[in-house]
Structure 1
Amino acid sequence: MRHRDTSDNEEKEKDLNMAEMMQEESTPMPVSPKKDNQFALQPQECFLLRAKEKKEKTSKTKKRRKKKISDVLAKSEPKPGTPEDLQKLVMDQLSIKHSVIELEELKLPDSCFLPANDLSHSLSSYLKQLCPKWAKLRKNHKEKKSLIMLIICSSALRALELIRSMTAFKGDCKVLKLFAKHIKIQEQVKLLEKGVVHLGVGTPGRIKALIQQDVLNLNSLKYLVFDWNWRDQKLRRLMDIPEIRKEVLELLEMRLISLCRADSLKLGLF
């Protein structure tokens, strides 16, 4: 009997142990809330850092890229120049180095402007509109080292293009190329001194140099035309090019503004 009781007790203990083991396996292991939060935050922190770095890189890229004049002009529709455009430009630029009182003497009066090109004219038709008595003027012009009309453009190539396109207007008058490319200033001096020249087409830098050397006289000058609306390969107009704009303003200051104010010189914007 005793042996049987012992066997029964051992079987009960085995059953009890098995029940406890099954209970332990089914019960989930407790997880530390602190560790769980750390693991949960890590992906979020990584995402925020990456987003911040991406934003900083984008802002740096935007700051580095400068807006060019060609970007602005490419988005704008062709708009003909007006006298107000030139008047405002002259005042804005000259106000940097002149006092308010001095600026009053440098204003271009409205009366000195001729009708501007509305983009419908060729150069010949525009010049005929500005100067309907051109044939009479050129016939009466006898003074050497002087011109009746001056056309200012941005480059030598553009000057040649303008000369070719004014055939219907110029007739048999003498036209002088006033730019530096492939032409020495001494050659232009000889041509001005040798014979009568009616019309000059060129860049402001070379024209200014000839005036400073007292080779080009402005006494007979009646018309000054700016090649205002034409754009180069970079979509820049005459006054959009900093070095050209600077030379034009210096040229105007030399004597041309005073001639305009005296009503002896008329301005046109082609």
Structure 2
Amino acid sequence: TVAVKTSKLRDPSDDEALEKTNENKTATCQDSNSKPAVKKKRKQPTECFLSQPEEKRESTVKAKRRKKKISDVLQKSAPKPGVPADLQNLLTQHFGENRSVIEIEELKLSDSCFLPANDLTHSFSSYLKEICPKWAKLRRNHKEEKSVVMLVLCSSALRSLELIKSMTAFKGDCRVIKLFAKHIKIKEQMNMLEKGMFHIGVGTPGRVKALVEQDALCLNATKYMILDWNWRDQKLRRMMDIPEIKKETIDLLEKSIIKLCRDGSVKLGLF
């Protein structure tokens, strides 16, 4: 009877069931252990993605620092006043590759074509008084329409307005016309030049060149042409450092002004 009871307690089917449950547990343990490995693999691309913006930020910071260094150098460097040789060199460099030696010689101006250059000690009014001591007489004798006695070229409309305000001590009773494109249509300027009498024109090379090409502005009565050569904008650029202004100024000089200077009717000044 004892043997029979022990055989019933240790049934082989029970042993197989225990083995199966143990196998299932090990399988689940293995699955649970394998999950963290999958999560680590998913984190890898996110880590690579996060490293890219940091590199971009470093490059932009370096670029900004470089720009600041360049501006610092320009600010610390002592400004040098423009001289007639600077304009001559500019014309030679601009036309040197496309013109013959004879054509370049025709663009050269003698020292007698230039007024005394600004040595950076003058205001605009004091400079005009120095180069044009007989302004009152020239102003009274000027009676031609569509023309001005003095033409002032600068880089922008805002700079033109600044120069007009700063010449109050010089201009006296003369009339000044604004020759730039901002807020003023070219047809309005053409009508003003045709109907009115003006002594000084202040504006940008592009608008002045357009008026000359359309015969709205005549330069036969012009005696002085002043270039706002030394002034610098917020980016520390002079008018000849701006590509568009430089090209338009050189075109105007080549087509209209240089011939008048060589003939002795127009004097050039660098303010």
Give the TM-score category using the shorter length: 0.7 to 0.9
Residues 138-157 of structure 1: pairs in structure 2 closer than 5 A: 138-157=139-158
Structure 2 partner of 1:77:
78
Deviation readout 1:134-179 (Å, 9 max, x if unpaired)? 0110100000001100000000000000000000000110100000
Deviation readout 1:23-79 (Å, 9 max, x if unpaired)? xxxxxxxxxxxxxxxxxxxxxxxxxxxxxxxxxxx9xx89xx799985763342111
Structure 2 partner of 1:210:
211
For residue 73 of structure 1, what is the amino acid of its counterpart?
A: L
Residues 126-165 of structure 1: pairs in structure 2 closer than 5 A: 126-165=127-166
Choose 100-109 or 160-169, whichever is displaced more.
Answer: 100-109
Gaps in structure 2 of 5+ consecutive residues: 1-58
For residue 206 of structure 2, what is the amino acid of its counterpart?
A: G
* TM-score calculated relative to the size of structure 1: 0.74
Deviation readout 1:177-198 (Å, 9 max, x if unpaired)? 0000000001100110001110
Structure 1 partner of 2:108:
107
1:70/1:236 contact within 8 Å kept: no
Structure 2 partner of 1:86:
87
Alpha-carbon distance change, 251 to 69 in structure 1, aligned in 2, over 3 angstroms? farther
Identity of aligned residues (%): 70
Gaps in structure 1 of 5+ consecutive residues: 1-57
Whether 1:245 and 2:246 are equivalent positions in the alignment is yes
Alpha-carbon distance change, 116 to 247 in structure 1, aligned in 2, over 3 angstroms? same
Structure 1 partner of 2:171:
170
Instruction: Write the distance in 1 (CA, Å) between the matches of 2:84 and 2:262.
Output: 15
Instruction: Write the distance in 1 (CA, Å) between the matches of 2:238 and 2:69.
Output: 13
Deviation readout 1:179-235 (Å, 9 max, x if unpaired)? 000000011001100011100000000000000000100100100000011100000
Whether 1:190 and 2:173 are equivalent positions in the alignment is no
- Partner SS, residue 200 of structure 1: strand
- Partner SS, residue 268 of structure 1: strand
Alpha-carbon distance change, 69 to 209 in structure 1, aligned in 2, over 3 angstroms? farther
Instruction: Write the distance in 2 (CA, Å) between the matches of 1:165 and 1:190.
Output: 26
Instruction: Write the distance in 2 (CA, Å) between the matches of 1:181 and 1:68.
Output: 33
Deviation readout 1:5-34 (Å, 9 max, x if unpaired)? xxxxxxxxxxxxxxxxxxxxxxxxxxxxxx
How many corresponding residue pairs? 210
Instruction: Write the distance in 2 (CA, Å) between the matches of 1:83 and 1:132.
Output: 21
Instruction: Write the distance in 1 (CA, Å) between the matches of 2:236 and 2:142.
Output: 38
Instruction: Write the distance in 1 (CA, Å) between the matches of 2:198 and 2:140.
Output: 11
Residues 11-26 of structure 1: pairs in structure 2 closer than 5 A: none
1:109/1:260 contact within 8 Å kept: no
Structure 1 partner of 2:38:
none
Instruction: Write the distance in 1 (CA, Å) between the matches of 2:198 and 2:116.
Output: 25
- Partner SS, residue 268 of structure 2: strand
Structure 1 partner of 2:9:
none
Instruction: Write the distance in 1 (CA, Å) between the matches of 2:152 and 2:74.
Output: 24
Instruction: Write the distance in 1 (CA, Å) between the matches of 2:67 and 2:91.
Output: 26
